[in-house]
Structure 1
Amino acid sequence: MNQAKEKRLQFTEKAQQIVDRMTLEEKVYLMSGNLSLQDMMADAMGEASHYNAKPYPAGGNEKEGVAPMLFCDGPRGVVCGTGESTCFPVTMCRGASFDAELEEEIGHAIGREVRGHGGNLFAGVCINLPYNPGWGRSQEVYGEDSFALGHMGAALVRGVQDEDVMACVKHYAFNSMEISRFKVSVDCERRTEREVYLPHFKECVDAGAASIMSSYNLYKGIHCGHSDYLLRKVLKEEWDFDGFVMSDFIWGVKDTAEAGNGGQDMEMCCTQFFGDKLVQAVKDGLVSEARINDSALRIVRTILAFEDSYRKSGHAYDKSVLGCKEHVELAKRAAEEGIVLLKNENKVLPLQKEKIKKIALLGKLANKANIGDHGSSRVFPAYVKTPMDGFNEILPDAEVIWYSGEDLEHAREVAKEADAVVFVVGFDHDDEGEFVAVENSENYTGAIGGDRKTLGLHADEVELIKAAGPENKNSAVVMIGGNMIMMTDWADCVSSVLMAFYPGQEGGSVIARIIMGDVNPSGKLPFVLPYEEKDLPQVNWDTTNQYYEYYHGYARLEKKGIRPMLPYGFGLSYTTFTVDKPAFSADGENVRAVCRVKNTGDREGAQVVQMYVGFGNSSIDRPVKLLRGFQRVTLSPGEEKQIEISCPVEKLKYYDTKSASFQLEHMEYEMYIGTSSAEEDLLKGTVSL
């Protein structure tokens, strides 16, 4: 049992005594958001003029000394306030760092800022798995791999909760489509469910997460916010989750009795189906009071534990922690570690400062503050640095020219006359993100967030790169976006390419510092990049039914024998590394891989060593191999270190549908260790279990 859970369970007796003294109405009040829809709209239209400008309350009982739950959204930082919170890079960028220790540090910073805003719960641990990278909110998650999602999400949970702030993990489950999120029913085979879409949630539960948010969508025809199977059987019974479940906002509960009986503990953030309706449902015998007692106990116990720990910690975080220097530096470091160098022909990058007298920035996004989605995850920092700001900072004596690129002939001339050209292309909140519209709307245009209908750049950006790229050999494309962007039709037109994601409030500065060599890029792709979109699972983004296959992402391409343009886990550096002397072992509890990593270049750099496990000898259909561990290591020139990565044998099991349990195959497993999922980047061995 982890310490967070153990600490909470110590409050079970006290919480039970409190619940036993409560009336039915008081217990149901704990389960209900304290805002009306009118209150929420008034908050959004008030002085701060945005969603969650201040923490949203639910429950509480002053007489019994139970504080309300005070909700603060995320996941790029704390949504509350205006011009105060630190805006970190989006989660996908942080996933590209493959740095769980850094993510835990970010969790600490976010936890402190939640308390600084007066909240006690952070609802920004987003770990849904993108079935297809066109999902508009995939910027909010760590990548396409379930193991990485769970590992990084658990790190954020630990960091946030170490600051005595409840972490809420979302959206449970199968929430990987945006414009159909209110109406779509997802279906898949039971093995797919248990091996692909649920393990990362269990990882966060095992890390001690205090709360889970159910999702809007349906699973196998039942609303996830009502699902007795997902909320009670799997989450609370099989996984022994001791915290509480809350609904996604406003539309996450559709029926009083169904939600009450299905394991929903708290309707957020506006009471529509709980409150008086739930009290009446109990009186009418439609919902048992035992269900209410269970929910009330979970809520009271969790809040008591966190509030008691915060009081005893001696901390009293106030607004001075919001956007403080330490947190902004952490946001900068996250961008430095997450931005991925994808191409660097003839070592064009880094550019040499002394040779740059004039640099051209081409593309609309080069001079735009662009931190990603403007939905519920939007953070309001004191400032956002654009790439233009960053290059002006780092090249104070050079001429920095920006042109949006409408006139291709003029763009060619600008590129030709400059010492170097940087294209900044990709997306903003109008292209991808949370889709907010009338429920079941059929008027989707793709112009206000939502899912991407295609995975490539805008046509005018492709034309710009093709026209101006060949005019200057010192050329770089910086891609801005929340997930994979196709490069097939333009990559040969430029010398270098970086994936910057939405890199946070310091992102523009970091982009410039990487291109000019002040920072050595070290991010790795948290997704595979295919040559063709058809190599990925196909999705109808506007539908009432969507089937999820067992294979997606790099596992799908490997199973089909399709070579990607760039493999999962790939990323270049300005230095070079060798990986050698592999050794693999196994015992009854763990499999291990050991190797030696050496920096063979002339500057400090970081490498992400990755361990994969293969299932070639399986008697059933299984992936070629799966990520089962990673470790980031920073090395000075000439320095070498021995790296050891281990993985519990438990994570090698498959789900047997006949016994409804995970089973270990006793066979020889292939083991891999290296620097990406590509065969040429891996050293291979075997272990027997």
Structure 2
Amino acid sequence: MRFRVGPSGLSGSVGEGSHVDEERGSGMAARIEELLAKLDTAAKVRLISGAGMFRMAGDAGIGLAEMPVSDGPSGVRGENWDEREPSVSLPSGTALAATWDRELLGEIGALIAAQARAKDVYAVLGPTVNLHRSPLGGRHFECFSEDPMLSGEMAAAYVRAVQAHGVSACPKHYVANDAETDRFTVDVRVDDRALRELYLYPFERSVAAGAWMVMAAYNSVNGVTMTENPLLDEPLEGAWGFDGVVVSDWTAVRSTEGAAAGTDLCMPGPSELWGAKLLDAVRAGEIPEAAIDEKVRRILRFATRVGALDGTPSPTPEFSDEKAGELVRRAAADAMVLVRNDGVLPLRADQPVALLGPGAAAPRFMGGGSATVIPAHTTTPLTGLSAVLPVTHTPGVWLSDELTAVATDLITDPDTGTPGLALRYLADGEEIGRQHRATGSLVLFGDATAERATAIELRTRLRADADGEWWIGVGAMGRVRLELDGELADAGELAMSGADPVAALLHPPQRTVTRTLRAGQEIDIRITIENLISMPGLGVFLGVTLGATPPRRTEDAESAAAVEAARTARVAIVVVGTTEQIESEGADRATLRLPGRQDDLVAAVAAVNPRTVVVVNSGAPVEMPWRDDVAAVLLSWFPGQEFGTALADVLTGAREPGGRLPTTWPVTMSDVPVLDTTPAADGTLTYAEGVHIGYRAWLRTGVEPAYPFGHGLGYTTWEPSDLEVSGHTATLTVRNTGDRPGKYVAQAYLSREQSVIDRPVRWLAAFATITAEPGESRRVEIPLPDRAFEHWTGRQWAVEPGAFTLHVGTSVTDLPLTARIG
């Protein structure tokens, strides 16, 4: 067992975002040693063992406050999953990377910091900087890109911006947590060069930007679980000089003995593996106390940085709801990628449109899992477009027969008479807690009143707003009893054998019944759930969905209605996408096909209306067999709470679609060169492709994708020229030759002919993002980092002697300008 017992002071320079010089001048190291000396062994172990589901321990004796942390890739949820404490819902990781805009990430980071401070959160668990190795990855939407350089630049901008306001970022999941299948146990086998050049690089950039916390992943790499892996020592704390806190992913600590390795904080707490067991091991001399001291030093250093040790956290920018909404709206528009347009876009403000597809009125604003937040409001494509265009709407297709959470305006809490439901916690039949909740979808954990609960009860009054057969029921884990108007309607046990706990929390199994109701009719609903899942020290750990699905037309009738609406409209807009079950933490995708009959709907609409625009509401690539048969295709990603208004801005030309692809989109899944996410029978997943993932692998195979990495259209035209290179700096002229202002992303790639190294055909070296007015020319400077020319030898970074070729353009396959370097 390796014992990390590093120096008592600071561990050295940590790069461009470092606070080392400032801290040395303030005597931080000396203060940490003084405080450490005041702690006995038990107190030290408490500090590294967590104090709650999302809370780091404090110590009143040394003036250290408890420090809440929060999931943070797409918004700051806080410690509780509760609609009573809403959060701003931000665009997904793929959307933010699609902007290719470091400055915009700076603004987003400031908003994240402000949200964190408002919720008393000291660290946000993000960004997610794993790579898009396979488009089947379940959390593909949460990660930035298939390219390490683009991911690294976005990650560095995020870290700098959040931490500039005294809130810690936490890049995750270190390392090679690039898929969800068997994520707790999979052993990723990957060679050292691919690790250094691809998978570790975004973390390296994050540390160089000054990250104060890094999360160790669940998986193993090359035979060792990541919370005990030598990669925590080298390169993280060695070559990179990381002096912050390594926190485990939740429940990723595997052993008490592992406390001797590089993980500093075991979460959630209180930890059964560290806590008392670790204290016994230290007292028995099995683990040196010096190893624990080094972890405590890092936590005290972290506490000083975030203001938890002296009670003076840094002020953050002020964001009104209006200001936050405007930023999210602008970011969402700047992330949307227009991959096809025959001239139908932008639309005129007076054009009547048929707005179709399941995502028109019920879109996805965010991906599922720990990236989920509960916003105070959302705007759908239907509400956004109806505000600026004459709109006729029908879904055209149903995606699922599963229950959907009941709309809050259809239910009334019988205790308060306000929209929502009454929730009671029961212990052996006695009430121990009562809440009013304004949602039909609950995630219950960490509630102190629920620690003794043996059952919960939900009561509400449902008002039907349509005639016909309604599906009514509940999703949960445990023994469920459903009563309607005082009579037992259904009862039984609900369980998910072997399910990922996140999936069980967010997508629990369901029981349903049907009732024929009249519009305006009301019905009392009472649900009791027993055999509750609970966690030590946290109480109830349960997801509950109160479902009420209104009557529907048959699929054939609904499809026919959509086609008829499209036939008579000037323009047809179809919003298609994935579901919460398909793109979410806890499971990888099995297919890239759109669920349900969405492809059939698009094909049928396009057949009757040549001016069909398809909006793809997914966080990751999907197959689009109709893409050449429609007038325009716009990728919206998961755009956050302002989806509808941002989409209206882009479709009408109030804003330009500013996105460029951060990942390759295939024609069919069978074309994808790196696809597998399933471990072998022995639990290993081998990254046999080495450094060739994403567009690198596509270029190597010679197969043409639907849309290449970097691709994206705007509403103007551009002319690049006059490429010059001086040292490692490229300069070119870009002229806006159209009649509208626009955005240009200059992408610089390197290649090397006749290399003795196994290199990609070409690889992204750098990029620059500019805007220009009609007719305006801009001179653009693109610094090329030394690392872009280097390769990992197994022991060090090296540059192969000889010349490289620089290619500059607007995608990995559209590179009109070239120059020689070296």
TM (normalized to structure 1)?
A: 0.89
Cα distance change on mapping 1:265 and 1:222 into 2, 3 Å? same
Would you say 1:78 and 2:76 are equivalent positions?
yes
Would you say 1:21 and 2:38 are equivalent positions?
yes
Equivalent-residue separation in structure 2 for 1:310 and 1:564 (angstroms): 55
Cα distance change on mapping 1:223 and 1:640 into 2, 3 Å? same
Please state how far the C-alpha of 1:369 moved relative to its aligned partner: 4.3
* Counterpart code for 2:385: F
Q: How does 1:205-354 map to 2 (within 5 A)?
A: 205-227=207-229, 229-249=230-250, 251-257=251-257, 259-270=258-269, 271-307=271-307, 315=315, 324-345=321-342, 347-354=343-350
Cα distance change on mapping 1:511 and 1:307 into 2, 3 Å? same
Please state how far the C-alpha of 1:667 moved relative to its aligned partner: 1.1
**Selected match of 2:379 from 385, 390, 399:** 385
Structure 2 equivalent of residue 424 of structure 1:
575
**Secondary structure, in 3 states, of the residue corresponding to 2:721?**
strand
* Counterpart code for 2:111: A
**Selected match of 1:59 from 43, 57, 60:** 57
**Selected match of 2:621 from 457, 480, 484:** 484
Cα distance change on mapping 1:427 and 1:323 into 2, 3 Å? farther
**Secondary structure, in 3 states, of the residue corresponding to 1:681?**
coil
Q: How does 1:168-183 map to 2 (within 5 A)?
A: 168-183=170-185
* Counterpart code for 2:378: V
Structure 2 equivalent of residue 376 of structure 1:
370
Structure 2 equivalent of residue 403 of structure 1:
395
**Secondary structure, in 3 states, of the residue corresponding to 2:172?**
strand
**Secondary structure, in 3 states, of the residue corresponding to 1:596?**
strand
**Secondary structure, in 3 states, of the residue corresponding to 1:280?**
helix
**Selected match of 1:557 from 682, 689, 698:** 698
Equivalent-residue separation in structure 2 for 1:22 and 1:181 (angstroms): 37
Cα distance change on mapping 1:181 and 1:562 into 2, 3 Å? same
Q: How does 1:666-681 map to 2 (within 5 A)?
A: 666-678=801-813, 680-681=814-815
Cα distance change on mapping 1:411 and 1:130 into 2, 3 Å? same
Structure 2 equivalent of residue 683 of structure 1:
817
Equivalent-residue separation in structure 2 for 1:509 and 1:423 (angstroms): 16
Cα distance change on mapping 1:183 and 1:429 into 2, 3 Å? same
Please state how far the C-alpha of 1:453 moved relative to its aligned partner: 0.9
Would you say 1:609 and 2:609 are equivalent positions?
no
Cα distance change on mapping 1:334 and 1:240 into 2, 3 Å? same
* Counterpart code for 1:334: A
Please state how far the C-alpha of 1:68 moved relative to its aligned partner: 2.6
Please state how far the C-alpha of 1:195 moved relative to its aligned partner: 0.9
Instruction: Assess if the C-alpha contact under 8 Å between 1:654 and 1:663 holds in 2.
Output: yes
Equivalent-residue separation in structure 2 for 1:314 and 1:194 (angstroms): 35
Cα distance change on mapping 1:309 and 1:671 into 2, 3 Å? farther
Cα distance change on mapping 1:576 and 1:327 into 2, 3 Å? same
Please state how far the C-alpha of 1:404 moved relative to its aligned partner: 2.9
CA displacement 1:211-244 (0-9 Å, x = unmatched): 01111111112211121x1112221122111001
Equivalent-residue separation in structure 1 for 2:267 and 2:208 (angstroms): 24
Structure 2 equivalent of residue 661 of structure 1:
796
* Counterpart code for 1:350: P
Equivalent-residue separation in structure 2 for 1:308 and 1:33 (angstroms): 15
Would you say 1:646 and 2:783 are equivalent positions?
yes
Structure 2 equivalent of residue 438 of structure 1:
none
Instruction: Assess if the C-alpha contact under 8 Å between 2:109 and 2:159 holds in 1.
Output: yes
* Counterpart code for 1:526: P
Equivalent-residue separation in structure 2 for 1:404 and 1:545 (angstroms): 43
Equivalent-residue separation in structure 2 for 1:310 and 1:639 (angstroms): 52
Structure 1 equivalent of residue 443 of structure 2:
none
**Secondary structure, in 3 states, of the residue corresponding to 1:595?**
strand
Unaligned runs of 5+ in 2: 1-14, 398-554
TM (normalized to structure 2)?
A: 0.75
Structure 2 equivalent of residue 447 of structure 1:
none
Equivalent-residue separation in structure 2 for 1:305 and 1:528 (angstroms): 39
**Selected match of 1:452 from 573, 585, 589:** 589
Please state how far the C-alpha of 1:559 moved relative to its aligned partner: 1.9
Equivalent-residue separation in structure 2 for 1:2 and 1:681 (angstroms): 31
Structure 2 equivalent of residue 30 of structure 1:
47
* Counterpart code for 1:272: E
Structure 2 equivalent of residue 69 of structure 1:
67
- Between Structure 1 and Structure 2, the one with more strand by share is 2
**Selected match of 1:493 from 618, 629, 640:** 629
Cα distance change on mapping 1:313 and 1:288 into 2, 3 Å? closer
Instruction: Assess if the C-alpha contact under 8 Å between 1:97 and 1:337 holds in 2.
Output: yes
Instruction: Assess if the C-alpha contact under 8 Å between 1:213 and 1:248 holds in 2.
Output: yes
Q: How does 1:164-203 map to 2 (within 5 A)?
A: 164-203=166-205
Please state how far the C-alpha of 1:595 moved relative to its aligned partner: 0.8
Please state how far the C-alpha of 1:206 moved relative to its aligned partner: 0.7
Structure 1 equivalent of residue 429 of structure 2:
none
Please state how far the C-alpha of 1:190 moved relative to its aligned partner: 1.2
Equivalent-residue separation in structure 2 for 1:5 and 1:232 (angstroms): 21
**Secondary structure, in 3 states, of the residue corresponding to 1:366?**
coil
Instruction: Assess if the C-alpha contact under 8 Å between 1:86 and 1:323 holds in 2.
Output: no
**Secondary structure, in 3 states, of the residue corresponding to 2:713?**
coil
Cα distance change on mapping 1:399 and 1:656 into 2, 3 Å? closer
Instruction: Assess if the C-alpha contact under 8 Å between 1:85 and 1:323 holds in 2.
Output: no
Cα distance change on mapping 1:456 and 1:615 into 2, 3 Å? farther
Equivalent-residue separation in structure 1 for 2:368 and 2:225 (angstroms): 26
**Selected match of 1:140 from 137, 142, 165:** 142
Please state how far the C-alpha of 1:561 moved relative to its aligned partner: 2.5
Q: How does 1:611-650 map to 2 (within 5 A)?
A: 611-650=748-787
**Secondary structure, in 3 states, of the residue corresponding to 1:266?**
coil
Instruction: Assess if the C-alpha contact under 8 Å between 2:745 and 2:768 holds in 1.
Output: yes
Matched residues, number: 636
Instruction: Assess if the C-alpha contact under 8 Å between 2:64 and 2:310 holds in 1.
Output: no
Instruction: Assess if the C-alpha contact under 8 Å between 2:338 and 2:635 holds in 1.
Output: yes
Please state how far the C-alpha of 1:486 moved relative to its aligned partner: 2.1
- Tell me the C-alpha RMSD between the 2 structures: 1.8
**Secondary structure, in 3 states, of the residue corresponding to 2:300?**
helix
* Counterpart code for 2:130: N
Unaligned runs of 5+ in 1: 41-55, 436-449
* Counterpart code for 1:547: T
**Secondary structure, in 3 states, of the residue corresponding to 1:171?**
coil
**Selected match of 1:5 from 19, 24, 31:** 19
Equivalent-residue separation in structure 2 for 1:100 and 1:555 (angstroms): 23
Please state how far the C-alpha of 1:275 moved relative to its aligned partner: 1.1
Cα distance change on mapping 1:540 and 1:156 into 2, 3 Å? closer
Please state how far the C-alpha of 1:496 moved relative to its aligned partner: 0.5
* Counterpart code for 1:221: G
Structure 1 equivalent of residue 533 of structure 2:
none
**Secondary structure, in 3 states, of the residue corresponding to 1:573?**
coil
* Counterpart code for 1:513: D
Instruction: Assess if the C-alpha contact under 8 Å between 1:369 and 1:384 holds in 2.
Output: no
Structure 2 equivalent of residue 434 of structure 1:
585
Cα distance change on mapping 1:286 and 1:552 into 2, 3 Å? same
Equivalent-residue separation in structure 2 for 1:246 and 1:308 (angstroms): 17
Structure 2 equivalent of residue 46 of structure 1:
none
Equivalent-residue separation in structure 2 for 1:404 and 1:526 (angstroms): 31
CA displacement 1:551-595 (0-9 Å, x = unmatched): 111001112223322211000011111111111232xxxx12111
Instruction: Assess if the C-alpha contact under 8 Å between 2:125 and 2:172 holds in 1.
Output: yes
